Each structure stands twice: as structure tokens, then as C-alpha cells.
Structure 1
Amino acid sequence: MKLVVAVSGASGAPYARRLLDFLAANGESHGVSVDLVFTQTGKQVWKQEIGDEPRYPFRIWKNQDFTAPFASGSAMYDAMVVIPCSAGALARIAYGISVDLVGRAADVMLKERKKLVLVLRETPISLVHARAMTQVIEAGAFVMPASPSFYSAPKTIDALVDTVVARVLDRLGLPNALMKRWDGVSPRAPEPVEEP
């Protein structure tokens, strides 16, 4: 799999870091090659929320560098994840406004009918956002709000992050054991209610 990972300027850099950590550790064994691109605000938010400069063994592209291979459908990339995805980035993607490499790469994924996963980090959702989500879903993308799950009784922030990243990896078809899967049985029995 040839995969593009884009980090936009919404809060949620820990989601991106966890996905990139997983791909750095497991991508090669799963046959995944990764290209990475940050928006300018994506870099700023990463610095604020993570601190360290991102250091990964992937090719990192500048967001205005349209010479990146995944800016063209002829390069035959298989999938793209924008994590986190700001509402502004989602709207630009939904309406084909390819003013930067992230937008162009997403446009390529849609026109080539490849997987595009947008991990939206925005709340509340306005009507503008809802219409952009509808537009991009109709065009073939997956919109995945960064909504952690709690049925696995996560004990740490990292465990909460994993519940979102595991679902992203699921959309890409990459096996992972980042979270306890729902098996139809509640992990804890409800407490009995005492009668007064």
C-alpha cells in the first residue's frame, strides 16, 4: 500500500503521532510505504501539543510542493488519511479547492476512487460543516470524527487515542490490536440498585 498521511491544523496531534508511530513500527511488515505532509498550522499545533519535532523514517513533503508524486493520479497511491482534519481542510477537500498539497492529494484520491479518511476534529458542527461532510462523503471519503470510545474502559489518554487510531487503521485494512474490540458483552456488569 502506498499511503499519504497529512496532518492539518486542528487540535489532535496525538492522533497523528499515534498513527505515525504505528506505521513506523509496523508499516513495513504490512507492506505499507508512507509519505507525510504537514500544513503550516499542523506543524504549529504539533509543536504546541506534542513539543518535539516529528521524526519519522518517511519522506516528508512541504505543503506547497506539488512535485510530490501523490499530487498526480498516475502515481497510483492507494489511500490517504488526514489526521487530524480541520473543518476548513474538510471544506476545501469537499469542494475541490486544491490550494495546497494536502487538498490536491485528497482531490486525487477522490477522483481516482481511492480511500480517503478524514479524521475530523471540530465541535460543535455547523450547517456549513455538515454540508461539507455530506459533499465529501457523497464523493467517496470516510469522515471519522475523532470520537474516542469508552466500552473498553481505557485508563489513560493514550488508550483513548488508540480507540480512534484503531478505527482509522481498520478503514485502511491494516490489522492492529490497539484496542479491545466490542464482542457484544458489556465489560462490566451494572451495579445493583438498592431499594429505599
Structure 2
Amino acid sequence: MKLVVIVTGASGAIYARRMLHVLADLCAGTWPNEPAHKDLQVDWVASATAPQVWLTELGEPMPSEIGAPALAVATGEPVEEDAVGRPPALPSAAAARRESGASRASPATEVFGSNVLGGRLPSPSVAQTLRGRGAESERMVSQIRRWDRQDFSAPFASGSNAPDAVLVMPCSMSALSRVAHGGGDDLAARACEVALKERRRLVLVVRETPLSLVHLRNMVAATEAGAVVLPAVPSFYGSIRTLDDAVDTVVARALDHVGLHVALTRRWGAPESP
């Protein structure tokens, strides 16, 4: 499955962070009672204002990458191996969360025209892995990649390589307007446009209150065009006790609508876990 996640500057960065960490755990096989989703490819893009909101709401800069394993892809070129003969892999989501204090130095900066973000290049071992050295080997490709919003070399910028689903979370009213009426000059807007024209699932986790008549009409237009409008409204029937529990109710519903059913929260009518 090919999934594109768009993070906009609406309030609700906590939803995006949780979503990306869950996806990383699914890719890595570190989610409880779930095998590794080796066929899951996640590409994500942040809008111009999303890093500022992320820093303000979460107290940390938006990461340039989310931990996930690297997959081997045959290329005819060799890959550098570690001391025991295994190619180095990107850190898992769980490991990334354990390093919570390591990335709070300064806000992320974007390197335009490249899929390398965050103001820094990959570590030497990862860079060597991506390049390869020799004649017969494999290239390591991360299952989760962040793209610069102006980098139209991303595969999902074309309908000929359309993703299976695009998830905008959180979705600002400006992003909603671009979906409803077309237009936009960055990769985030293009990903949404591709999803609609190729009849792929587009889920808009809108976050605003109160809603004006303009917002409501844009929601109708986006729905008529084929998008799913999924407001970031938590449910409270699943023994919700913490903010994280409430966040998970929204993330679970969003994942449901892109075709990933994850045990994040208790479903209606399901027995409560002991």
C-alpha cells in the first residue's frame, strides 16, 4: 500500500505526530500483535506553516525523518554492510521516541529540491547505504520518507504513480479550500489533486471551530469531488482517560478510512481489555 500523509498548519500537530509514529511502528513490526507491514510505503509532506505549529504545540521541531526500517531493493549496485554483514537500517519509531530530548535544538529547515529535509543530511552509514559501492547488491530505501513541499520529483506528484490513499491530518481550512476548488502550487496540493482525479481515497481530517458558511460549503464541494471529510473530533465511549486516548480515537478512524485497521482504541460494542 502506498500512503501519502499531508501535515498542514492547522492546530492539531499531536494528531500528525501520533499518526506518523503508528505508521512507523507498523512498518517496523513493533506494533503489538501486528506483523511488519513490508508492503506499506509512507510518503509525507509538510505545508509551509506546519513546522511552526508543530514546534509551538509540541515543544519540539518537526523531524526530518520518522524512524522506520530500510527495505532492500535490487539495483545491481552493492550496499555497504556493518561488521556482521547486515546493511545499516534507519532507527525504529520506538527508538526515535526514546530519544525525545535529542532533537529540540532548533526548528527544522527545509532543503528545497530534495527529499532530504531537516537542515541535515543522512548519517554517513545511511548515506552510504543509499548510494551503494560496487557491482552486485541492493539499495536500502526507507519505508517512510519526508518530501519537501516544492519537490515535484516525488512519485505521487503524477497520476501515473498515484498513491492508494492521501491523508491530510490535520487539514487546515486553506488546504480544504484548495481541495474544494482546485489549485495550489506545492506538492501537498498536487497530491490531493492526484488522489481526486485518479479516484483514490482522499481523507481530510479538518480542524477548525466554529465553522463559517464558507468552510461548510467547501466541505460539501470536497465531498462531492470524492474526498472524505473526517473532523478531528474525539469519541469518548472507549474508556477514554487521557489526552493520548482521545487523540487515538481520531487517528484510528483516519487509519480506518485509508484501509489500515489498527487496534488503537476500544471499538463500540467491543469488550474492554482487562
Match of 1:27 in 2: 27
Q: What amino acid is the match of 2:66?
A: Y
- Whole-angstrom distance in 2 between the partners of 1:117 and 1:52: 26
Are the aligned partners of 2:162 and 2:194 in contact in 1 as well (CA < 8 Å)?
Answer: no
Q: Which amino acid aligns with 2:23?
A: L
Q: Which residue of 2 aligns with 1:160?
A: 246
Answer whether contact 1:98 1:107 (CA < 8 A) is retained: no
After superposition, the C-alpha distances for 1:22-48 in whole angstroms (9 at most, x for unaligned) are 000003623210111001211111111
Deviation at 1:184, TM superposition (A): 8.0
Q: Measure how far apart 1:130 and its partner are.
A: 0.7
Structure 1 position 62, deviation (Å): 1.1
Once residues 27 and 220 of structure 2 are traced to their aligned partners in structure 1, the CA distance between those partners, rounded to angstroms, is 31
Give 1:122-133 correspondences, 5 Å limit: 122-133=208-219
Secondary structure at the aligned position of 1:5 is classed as: strand
1:96 counterpart residue number: 182
Structure 2 unmatched ranges of 5 or more: 29-35, 68-143
What letter corresponds to residue 50 of structure 2 in structure 1? Answer: G
TM-score of the pair, normalised by structure 1? 0.90
User: TM-score by structure 2 length?
Assistant: 0.65
Which has the greater radius of gyration? 2
Bigger Cα displacement from structure 2, 122-131 vs 63-72: 63-72
- 1:19, 1:144 → 2: CA distance? 15
Counterparts in 2 of 1:54-65, with a 5 A limit?
Answer: 54=63, 55-57=65-67, 58-65=144-151
Are 2:159 and 1:73 aligned?
Answer: yes
- Count of residue correspondences: 186
One-letter amino acid of the counterpart of residue 161, structure 1: V
User: 3-state SS of the aligned residue for 1:98?
Assistant: coil
TM-fit CA distance, 1:142: 0.6
Partner Cα distance (2:189, 2:48) in 1: 13
Stretches of structure 1 that go unaligned for 5 or more consecutive residues are: 188-196
1:36 alignment partner, one of 44, 56, 76 = 44
Secondary structure in 2 matching 1:40: coil
Q: Secondary structure at the match of 2:42?
A: strand
Mapped to 2, the partners of 1:174 and 1:184 lie a distance apart of 18
Percent identity reads 55
Letter paired with 1:148: P
1:109 partner amino acid: A
> 1:113 aligned to 2:199?
yes
1:52 and 2:138 aligned: no
1:76, 1:93 → 2: CA distance?
16
1:169 is displaced (CA, Å) by 0.8
Give the secondary structure class of the aligned counterpart of 2:262: coil
